A and B are shown apart, each in its own frame.
Chain A
């Protein structure tokens, strides 16, 4: 399986074409539509010259029935970010639809029909904002034309509003439903004739729209992966090898089979090493009538394991080894000027080692998937971020054509990158095939924490040099962590360009000498990507060191950042890294430049809103960090109060965010509120440790997450208003919060933080 292009490669550059769907096209979406207007959007991937290479997605995104019902297709996975609302509302706004009568239907996983559905890397809005606007605007123009024809007036005298076409001069109105038959007969207007709404006339874009699933969620009706159901469904719980790369030697299932309700015990073959980003781990599955019987049966299984070469691995020893490793010279990945000379001529050298642990995703809904395999077909219901990746590998594994595999996407009870791996779906399909029964595989919390695709531990050393004038002359960043790529290919022992481009090699400050070096760190667990990926440790090291640099220079941290960002200009990094070595989140640096002015603007805004510089009582402090990730500019100020017994209280967090055009301001706010809490968990609570190759934390008592009493109290989100291309908001809140908190703790207590999670007693 591929690592998402959104942070390690190139996203499918696409252009669009709108087409009118034939009866056959809309029959494909099954029973939703029985006549009227149906429009599709074709997405083309393009080569570097912008020529079309392949048609990705000729599919229906929009239908209007003669009764006036509007159905919009949501083709990206919903995991709490609000995408099932935000993309359809873009269509509805352009169209002039009555939102209260719009129906949203979740698309199945099918790349040919829907284009890229890999909901990852904060790029749903970035990639689909424009095509969705064009689809809405095309439908609008067809309806305007139909009405104008009927009234024998000019199209320019007509407008849409609340699912009606209005003749602006006479006030005459026609419902969309009355016009669709005629609209469907009109030719699709050429792209050049499509006029997108003037942003000043947006009715939904840029405003706060409640999510479409709100009512279902609060009334307990929403369907998540765990709620999927098929007639005759059985539940499987699996005992997996506790060490990655190990396998089942033998097992005794007598006691398990004696549990009432247990039906079958089936072993699953694992891939050994490399463990891969897609295949299930070696284990033994217990299939039962209900979840409880399956859990009980699993507990009673006796399995002999061949634990394999990772059985001696210890994360504490790994950290000790990497700490020595980063003290040496490494492989240079970005170089500007002469760091050695800067160091030799320095008046002051600041040097620290930063340590961060393994993290688990711990989505509140553990992975689960239901599969029915029958008559050469496979149908799966799952909480998946990447239905197409899963579809391909399911077809390959089961040995059936891709079009015989159907993936139904439920709501996702949290995902954060975990649910882009199809391992749990493959488990369900393999067991369904082997048992001949519809099988739902249910992961327990223990399974989830023991067998995650972990956020890798990391050790970094940063050296900053100041000259006699207190000028920052040199920046040397040493980095060691197992790479995601090692999960597929064990020979990879160094971070990829993509991983480094998440907050390390894109170091934006004007320093005469910059040297970024990497070190060997082989993987011993399955390494994956967690919300904002390597930005987490890299922003932690960079932004806390910047705070020390400011202090050493005798400059305020905010002023320091603004000064070191320098003149307003666009940054490029490639000339100091090598061609093609700065992925820029899969986008070309010309389309999405690194704009210093935008970064400075969010810094100034957050400083103003948070009252930066205000006097706080003893034991309280403000901390600042700025960090661009996933093409979104963010600055953050955290206020902290450290009470008796080292109790950390976070009364306020301020974020300023520039994500280009804001689509749904409420979901931007909620992602930032949640992002601060997510970051607070990893800053204050969470760590996965490994001994004898096995994860030591079993449940939320060991792997702790932030709870309400210690959670940041008020998170204020200040959204910059602009018309730039929209960029993502799922991941960017996470990286700057933790270093801002560390810097606030320093301001409050005089204690610097170099190790996560924060331990003030240590």
Chain B
């Protein structure tokens, strides 16, 4: 065990964990942010995708020891419930999710893709997103939502916010 400082979504957490612990479990079990999901534990499905200094990584296969001072961003950190990120907004407009379990990871990958390639083609999207499995099969809508988000981001207008809808 070792005391480590982790910066997640701009907040610093001191965690006392095995340095080999995958970042995923430090985020979920120790820090308590549950938006990042576990699907395979070996960089096969993308459900656990987070950003380190803006670059997407599979947190299930990234030991806490390699993070050091890099800034971690999770699904909870790309927008706020009242001010969603353009990618989240596009996901709502295209009604992407089915069960929703893979979607944190899909959104984190999509955010990173659009940073790298603001106008991706279908092929760019397919190639970039192939590390993210959706067992429910929402691929077609993910593709449309990424195109939509690309448009929203380039409009440079503040993203319209969706009020928290029914059910809450």
CA distance A216 to B100 in the complex (A): 9
Interface residues of A in 628-664 (CB under 8 A from B): none
Interface contact A676-B137, CB-CB below 8 Å = yes
* Chief secondary structure at chain B's binding surface: loop
Residue of A104, A411, A680, A708 most packed against chain B (CB within 10 A): A708
What is the size, in residues, of chain A's interface with B at 8 Å between Cβ atoms?
76
Q: A156 interface residue, CB < 8 Å from B?
A: no
CA distance A707 to B40 in the complex (A): 15
Q: A25 interface residue, CB < 8 Å from B?
A: no
What is the size, in residues, of chain B's interface with A at 8 Å between Cβ atoms?
68
Interface contact B30-A290, CB-CB below 8 Å = yes
Q: Quick one: which of A210, A291, A365 contacts B99, CB cutoff 8 A?
A: A365
Interface contact A364-B101, CB-CB below 8 Å = yes
Return B109 CB to nearest CB of chain A, in Å. 10
Interface contact A260-B18, CB-CB below 8 Å = yes
B81: nearest chain-A partner, CB-CB: A219
Q: A318 interface residue, CB < 8 Å from B?
A: no
A210: B residues at CB distance < 8 A: 92, 95, 165
Interface contact B139-A708, CB-CB below 8 Å = yes
A226-B37, A675-B137 known; A699 and B18 CB under 8 Å? no
A213: B residues at CB distance < 8 A: 97, 100, 167
CA distance A707 to B132 in the complex (A): 7
Q: B36 interface residue, CB < 8 Å from A?
A: yes
A211: B residues at CB distance < 8 A: 95, 97
CA distance A715 to B96 in the complex (A): 14
Interface residues of A in 474-515 (CB under 8 A from B): none
A365: nearest chain-B partner, CB-CB: B101
A442: nearest chain-B partner, CB-CB: B38
Interface 1/0 per residue, B25-42 and A, CB below 8 Å: 100111001111111111
Interface residues of A in 265-307 (CB under 8 A from B): 290-293, 295-296
Residue of B37, B140, B141 most packed against chain A (CB within 10 A): B140
Q: A221 interface residue, CB < 8 Å from B?
A: yes
Q: A677 interface residue, CB < 8 Å from B?
A: yes
CA distance A102 to B168 in the complex (A): 9
A218: B residues at CB distance < 8 A: 84, 88, 91-92, 96-97, 103, 107
Instruction: Return 28 A-B CB contacts under 8 Å, by A number.
Output: A80-B98, A101-B166, A103-B166, A212-B166, A215-B92, A216-B100, A218-B91, A218-B96, A218-B97, A220-B74, A221-B35, A223-B34, A224-B100, A261-B18, A291-B25, A292-B22, A292-B29, A293-B18, A363-B135, A364-B134, A413-B37, A413-B102, A670-B98, A670-B138, A674-B98, A700-B42, A711-B137, A713-B122
Using a CB–CB distance below 8 Å, which chain B residues touch chain A?
A: 1, 17-18, 21-22, 25, 28-30, 33-42, 44-45, 47, 74-76, 79, 81, 84, 88, 91-92, 95-104, 107, 122, 125-127, 129-143, 162-168
Using a CB–CB distance below 8 Å, which chain A residues touch chain B?
A: 78-82, 84, 99-104, 208, 210-224, 226-227, 235, 260-261, 290-293, 295-296, 362-366, 411-416, 442, 444-445, 666, 670-671, 673-678, 680, 699-701, 705-709, 711-715
> Given contacts A80-B136, A292-B18, could you give 8 more A-B pairs where the C-beta distance is less than 8 Å?
A99-B166, A364-B37, A413-B102, A677-B139, A700-B133, A705-B133, A708-B143, A714-B140
